Amino acid sequence: MVDIDDSKQPIEAKPTRAAATASIEEDHTSLEDVSKHIEVLLHASEAPLTAHALRKHLSLSTKELKQALEVLERRLETGVLNLHETASGYRLQISDDYSGLIQQVFPQRQERLSQALLETLSVIAYKQPVTRSDIEQVRGVTLSSNILRQLFDKGWIIEKGFKETLGRPALLHTTAQFLDAFGLSHLDELPPMPDLETIRTLS
């Protein structure tokens, strides 16, 4: 039997503190670069980008995307844009702190929604699925076909399914475009339902 002198065997070097620090800094730089790539894509896109699309375009894992988005959020804190997630994905939008300035300089960008449209949309959003008759019962007035047409044209509502009553009226639901327009990711984020008098005051 041959004795082996362990003292002559190569010893695996342990990473030094400097090497570990360099690795951490490299990871941070990488995430910073990825966050910038995400920011570029969100700037260039005309519509929100989903997490799936961002992972696909940038070859990221779910964990990497989450970390890069957090880096992007922190960097944007010092600017005028916010990273916002809607039902259709992520987008960049101007901070609410500057909404007054935008309204003052670009008043034409502020679309004024009619009282009837707001009331109708509120009933659909909070009580969906609903029929036209349900909306009329809540509002206490006949629903104009023009109001529904405006909501359909904006892509804020759709017909999906039928109520099993006489005539089988169509059931109305809100859409992802509705959530996007109001900066929401899910219906759960809707504030408490306002009463109709409050809506009339706002309009």
Per residue in 107-126, pLDDT (tens digit) is: 766 667 888 899 999 999 99
Collapsing DSSP to helix, strand or coil, 158 comes out as strand
For 140-180, what is each residue's pLDDT tens digit? 899 989 999 999 999 999 999 998 888 889 999 999 999 98
Place of tokens 């730089």: 29
> What is the set of domains in the chain, with CATH numbers?
22-98 (1.10.10.10), 111-202 (1.10.10.10)
Query: Which residue type occupies 185?
Result: S
Give this prediction's pTM: 0.61
- 117, 150 Cβ separation under 8 angstroms: yes
